[in-house]
Structure 1
Amino acid sequence: MRFMSPGSVVWFEIGTADLQTVQNFYGPLLGWTFEVDPDSSFDGRTYTRIIAPGAPWPMGAIQQGETGGEVINLSMLSADVGADVDKLTALGAEVVVPATAVGDVTVFARLKDPRGNTFSLFSRGSSEDLAERAQATEEHMEASAFQPQPGSMAWFEIGTTDPQATIDFYSSAFGWRFEKDETAGGKPYFNIFTGGDRPGGGLWEHSSGTGDGDYMMPSILVTDVPATAAAATDAGARVEHGPETNPDGLVFARLLDPHGNHFGLFSQPAHSG
């Protein structure tokens, strides 16, 4: 399976009523730039693309308007959003925004998994006018997945107090595969394979009473996790975990942004290039 296969996590969204605050926080912190997407802005909802430093195409978006509260959610590619919504609700998901067509750009839906984590589905558009841009965006996403640059979403993480329920749901929903991460220094951490031979995310089991709850978040590659985490706290964020270093040299931290949304920071081990 390719990176851009149904069920793959290929996008993220920040839902907010306060677009400027989100941009003022993440822009200086991670070097993100922003541009309004007129084709995806509708019904009074402004859709703003998020572009990583030096990237030609976006990796996510900010949706301003009625989004179900202040939230960051991962987005999975779907071949048929309506059918997938029916399948996921039968597995215990809750619909936040039903399958909705955005002209001929896409169809999307927003749901909550049985543990309360928000995620969304979207389908490829049918617009011939946007086909070239869509293809270029997908090619960039696929290349970035294998050679991520600082400031880009290069991982995702699910934290859960009920790992079996979480694994059962996402395995049944999207065919994800979970394998214990032997490089995590003994932590109950599982790599998540969403459609290829490399993991795209991880699951951290919090059932041992650490006080960490359930969440689902994008993780951003940076060059210096402690420095970026310190800058984030100066800008109004709160560090929930870390910075911590794995035995292989990977450094990571989990934070809450000024609106209370989880996001991760990590840097690669020096030998990984």
Structure 2
Amino acid sequence: MDNTVTWFEVATDDPEGAQRFYGGLFGWTFGASPAGPIDYRTIGYPGREQPGGGFYNTKGEFPAHAIFHVEVADVEQKCRETESLGGKVVTKVIDDGAGTDFAYLQDGSGNLFGVFHRR
């Protein structure tokens, strides 16, 4: 299913900016953080009823990190959208010879993630 991954985590000191970026790129939705000292917001995405991941607000106490791969319909389109939303294309491989196109991208906080499409 396009724009879908299994559980993952994005750690950032800018959760609102990360929500704008990933919501704009993949149509993801976000739940409120439960009451308590930890700001951890659930992430939902098309085709899945239960949350599939979460944003952890590091509050600057830990380095930003994320790594996951998202299956998409068009890798090149997602590369263009990434740049238009303030991200960066790190590595783009179209046609790896085994039937998969993929790219490594970065969001506006510098978090690395991947997108791929199996033909």
After TM superposition, the runs of 4+ consecutive aligned structure 1 residues lying more than 3 A away are none
Using the size of structure 1 for normalisation, the TM-score is 0.39
RMSD of aligned alpha carbons:
1.6
The partner residue of 2:102 within 249, 252, 255 is: 252
Q: 2:28 matched to which residue of 1?
A: 32
Matched, 1:262 2:109: no
Q: Could you say which structure has the larger radius of gyration? A: 1
Matched, 1:235 2:85: yes
For structure 2, the 5+ residue unaligned runs are: 1-5
The number of residue pairs the alignment matches comes to 113
8 Å contact from structure 1 (residues 255, 264) kept in 2: yes
**What is the CA-CA distance between 1:42 and the residue it aligns to?**
2.7
State the shift of 1:37 in Å.
Answer: 4.3
- Return the alpha-carbon distance in structure 2 between the equivalents of residues 58 and 247 of structure 1: 34
Q: Aligned equivalents of 1:46 and 1:222: distance in 2?
A: 29
CA distance in 2 between partners of 1:63 and 1:28 (Å)? 19
Question: Aligned AA for 2:23?
Answer: G
Query: Hey, what does 2:3 align to over in structure 1?
Result: none
1:218-233 to 2 correspondence within 5 Å?
A: 218-233=68-83
Distance in 2 of aligned mates of 1:231 and 1:33: 18
Amino acid at match of 2:63: G
Match among 8, 14, 18 for residue 18 of structure 1: 14
**How far is 1:65 from its partner?**
3.7
Equivalents in 2 of 1:20, 1:53: separation in Å?
A: 20
Relative to total residues, which structure has the larger helix share, 1 or 2? 1
Q: Alignment identity in percent?
A: 32
Letter in 1 for 2:112: H
CA contact (8 A) 1:226 1:243 kept: no
Question: What is the TM-score when the length of structure 2 is the normalising length?
Answer: 0.85
Is this contact kept in 1: 2:24–2:85, CA < 8 A? no
